Copies of this chain bind each other. A is one copy, B any other.
Amino acid sequence: MAVVIVQGGFDPWQEIQGYQNTLDGMSGKFGATSVFVGTMRDFNAGDPVKGMTLEHYPGMSEKQLETIVAEAQQQWPVLDSLVMHRVGDILPNEPIVLVAVWASHRGDAFDACRYIMEALKSRAPFWKKERLGSEDGRWVGENTKGYKSV
């Protein structure tokens, strides 16, 4: 289980590949990998966005992500997981967050991955400030829901 806060760009697919290669003893054990990657869009709330800065609460962000991963492990038989979250300055089309979950069966992998992602959105202390035009930045007010009926 790894939780990583990243300053600077990362390629989520390379990170998953690299992490999976380090999983000794997992060969042949996992049948399912569920992955979510969040990427910066160039529009939000109807406005074009040029870039953003991601602030976090160092120490608490790691702690909260580790708690969330532990909660997922308690609810589903997760074999391993990787959570990465970027901080600092970001440009559109760059990855912000990666959640990958390895499990024996697909239902568990899907459920745990989505649980981690939703909990991260609602509890991990990160804040986005968007750069719109030549103006000052705009703090994003609140995350939208990931489930339709919650």
Minimum CB–CB distance from A24 to chain B (whole Å) comes to 12
A109 partner, pick from B28, B36, B107, B147, beta carbons under 8 A: B36
Q: Is A105 interfacial (CB-CB < 8 Å)?
A: yes
* A residues with CB within 8 A of B: 11, 13-14, 16-17, 27-43, 92-93, 104-107, 109-110, 114, 117, 144-148
Knowing that A13-B13, A29-B41, A35-B36 touch, tell me 7 more A-B residue pairs with CB under 8 angstroms. Answer: A28-B41, A28-B42, A28-B93, A30-B39, A106-B146, A107-B145, A110-B146
User: How many copies, total?
Assistant: 2
A26 to B, closest residue via Cβ: B93
Minimum CB–CB distance from A64 to chain B (whole Å) comes to 18
**Chain B residues, CB < 8 A from A110:** 36, 110, 114, 117, 146
A37 partner, pick from B33, B144, B147, beta carbons under 8 A: B33
A16 partner, pick from B13, B93, B107, beta carbons under 8 A: B13
Do A41 and B30 have beta carbons less than 8 Å apart? yes
Do A147 and B107 have beta carbons less than 8 Å apart? yes
Minimum CB–CB distance from A75 to chain B (whole Å) comes to 11
